Structure 1
Amino acid sequence: VHFHSFLISFICCFSLTLDCQDIANKGATTSGLYYVKPLNAKEQFLVYCEIDSFGRGFTVIQRRQDGSVDFNKDWTQYKNGFGYLSPGDNTEFWLGNEKIHLLTATTTIPTVLRIELVDWEGNKKYADYNMFKLGSEADMFRLTYGYYFGGDAGDFYTSHNGMQFSTFDKDNDKYDGNCAQQDGSGWWMNRCHAAHLNGKYYLEFGYDNGIIWVTWHNRWYSLKETTMKIIPLSRITAGGQQAGAKQFAGLGV
């Protein structure tokens, strides 16, 4: 399994870069496709970097915007990543659990996970989680984070903290059945979910296996767009604001 990427000529390279913040620190000022090589990674891999005017470099690990990519994938596909990377950030993808593990497990500075959400009315919300890490495949890519760091979307990720990743062919949830098979996508399932950003993409309401964030809209409301991205804690408040929250670079604003 590998990514398809558009316009290879737009891919930029910097030597020995750990993540997108490292790329920004070395002078990159434009969002786009870059190669990174975290500590313990055997080889470099391609990521989409969102670089803002404050010099912050977010590494994007998930993008949903139009339902063009089916997120009902097996364990290996979620491990390696799937979808399409594009320099204009106008495609859907899952970066890959192994890559997310490498990006978060070997850093000396805590990592913040930022989740950005857009509903069908164009409203935008976000939530930040500090000390975000993904365990290794031996631990089934277990999700852990220290605490909810803020935002206006509300915190409904807590029930997923400490959960192992589940897919339809590898059931690691706390439910008697198979949540990933039932919901049609991979996620850190508990019994089964309160937040679910890899859910089925719906153009209408009335389904509880869609793209869900219950503390904003109810479980029958499937969101229009999502972004999951990571950045070192030391850079999250650059520019005097935690988020730049009202100007989502990469969400067409």
Structure 2
Amino acid sequence: MALSLLPTVAGFVLLFTLTSAQSRGDNVEVCTQVDAFGKYCPTTCGIADYLNRYKPAMDKDLNDMEEILDRIANKTTGAAEKVTYMRDSAAQQTKSGSDTYYKKSSDMLNEVVRFEKSIVEQESQIYNLQAVLESNEKRMLDLRQLSIQLEQKCQEPCKDTVEIKTITGKDCQEVANKGAKTSGLYYVKPAKATQQFLVYCEIDSFGRGFTVLQRRRDGSVDFNKDWVQYKQGFGYLSPSDTTEYWLGNEKMHLLSTQSTIPYVLRIELTDWDGNKKYADYAMFKVGPEADMYRLTYAYYFGGDAGDAFGGFDFGDDPSDKSFTSHNGMQFSTSDKDNDKFKGNCAKQDGSGWWMNRCHAAHLNGKYYRGGKYTAKDAGESGFDNGIIWATWHSRWYSMKETTMKMIPTNRVTDGDGQQTGGVKQFGGLGDN
């Protein structure tokens, strides 16, 4: 009975694997990915093309999966009925007192008891199959709901262009000072920049403008890039702020070193339970390429996520904290090793960052869905390569969402436009 279910289950697992492994719609066949910002890809037309291309196949796969689930359910029901029948037969044979059929019934009873033991062992497999059925029925429902949402989205008028606000400035705070009221895409031109470039500005109701440097949302962008890509920036900016990107080390340098008024760097983190925390760093700067885009800040300004940039004592070595401090570290990538480790931290972890030996904070790490991962999941190196903030979660927990953004220190306010001092007042920033 159990063996007869295995081919069906194997086929179901293979079908679901093939369905899950379908390629994305924003690959090079639909969209040419470039490092320059200002182009949002894919457009809503691209999303519609993707849906039209893959939705029929997905619907067919879902229907096939439903048929397989029905067959498994029927076999599971039949198995359960067989168990009940055999048990009833055993009970009837036990009650039989006929001398004529005593020996025959005794032999039959022994056979039934032996078979019943085998059935009991297989009952757990039946229960497991029922659990698989329930789990995959839920996943199928989620897929259908997602399909409906995409279909509704693609019924909206198609937009091949992205709205870029007309106000410009040297950073997002100056854009807000000039009258911008809403968050979105704006061009900025830092003091020493030769040309303007596109950024996403977070503008709150108190007129504070945050220039966003990095976003991690859903793992849709691969952060395993080389030196040039990290220098120029990669990923996609969107007016709805739903995409992932790295603004670029050169742009970060120009933005953070242009003013006599220092900037505050804010790190925002979201875990897989929806909890949110932050960390702030005063007098944040990214050095020039000649200094390998060195990260510096004056001090940890505060926050409830803890000071992971300051290092963390993992308990592996007495020098853990100093070895994992990020202040003063140069930027490293797999093809340009500037860390303090005898190996290449960026190559081992598969992404660029301000590495020491190696890190206690790593927001460009590998995206692990669900958060928890192991050394085995990390691959050949076995090192913690997730999206890590060690002063909140352990090194084997990868964040769901992260943001890096900056704002001039003189815009650290208490919410009514009056400048205040202290960490507590600054803690409300970003809570729009």
TM-score, length basis structure 1 = 0.94
**Pick aligned residue for 2:400 from 212, 224, 247:** 224
Q: Distance in 2 between matches of 1:5 and 1:133?
A: 28
C-alpha separation between the residues in 1 aligned to 2:297 and 2:175? 24
Cα distance in 2 for residues equivalent to 1:78 and 1:59: 18
> How many matched pairs?
247
Residue 428 (structure 2) aligns with: 244
- Between the aligned partners of 2:296 and 2:166, the Cα distance in structure 1 is 31
Instruction: Measure how far apart 1:8 and its partner are.
Output: 4.0
Structure 2 match to 1:134? 286
How far does residue 112 in structure 1 lie from its aligned partner after superposition? 0.2
Q: CA RMSD in A?
A: 1.3
The structure richer in strand per residue is: 1
Cα gap change, 1:104 to 1:246, in 2 (>3 Å): closer
Q: 231, 234, 247: which is aligned to 1:79?
A: 231
Select between 197-206 and 130-139 the one with higher mean Cα deviation.
197-206
What residue is the counterpart of 1:206 in the other structure? Answer: 373
Q: What fraction of aligned residue pairs are identical, expressed as a percent? A: 72
Corresponding position of 2:164: 11
Shift of 1:139: 0.2
SS in 1 for 2:341: coil
Match for residue 20 of structure 1 among 172, 188, 192:
172
Secondary structure, aligned partner of 2:231: helix
CA distance in 1, matches of 2:162, 2:234: 21
- Does residue 61 of structure 1 match 2:213? yes
AA partner of residue 104 (structure 1): S
> TM-score, length-normalised on structure 2?
0.56
CA distance in 1 between partners of 2:260 and 2:405 (Å): 18
**Cα offset for 1:52?**
0.4
User: In terms of mean alpha carbon deviation, does 200-209 or 93-102 score higher?
Assistant: 200-209
SS of residue in 2 equivalent to 1:85: coil
3-state SS of paired residue (1:132): strand
Contact in 2 for aligned 1:111/1:233 (Cα 8 Å): yes
Tell me by how many angstroms 1:116 deviates. 0.2
Higher relative contact order structure (alpha carbons within 8 Å, sequence separation ≥ 6): 1
Q: CA deviation at 1:246?
A: 7.1
1:88 matched to 2:240: yes
| Counterpart-to-counterpart distance in 1, 2:196 and 2:267 | 25
Q: Which of these two proteins has the greater Rg computed from alpha carbons?
A: 2
Conserved? CA contact 1:56–1:238, under 8 Å: no
Following superposition of structure 1 onto structure 2, how do residues 21-36 of structure 1 map, counting pairs within 5 Å?
A: 21-36=173-188
Aligned-partner Cα distance in 2 for 1:14–1:218: 42
Amino acid at match of 1:10: E
- Contact in 1 for aligned 2:414/2:428 (Cα 8 Å): no
Whole-angstrom CA distance in 2 between matches of 1:21 and 1:246: 14
Q: Conserved in 2, the CA contact under 8 Å of 1:212 and 1:221? A: yes
1:78·1:186 contact (CA, 8 Å) conserved in 2?
A: yes
1:160 aligns to 2:194 (yes or no)? no
Question: Any idea what the Cα deviations from partners look like across 1:97-136, whole Å, max 9, x if unmatched?
Answer: 0000000112110100000000000000000000000000
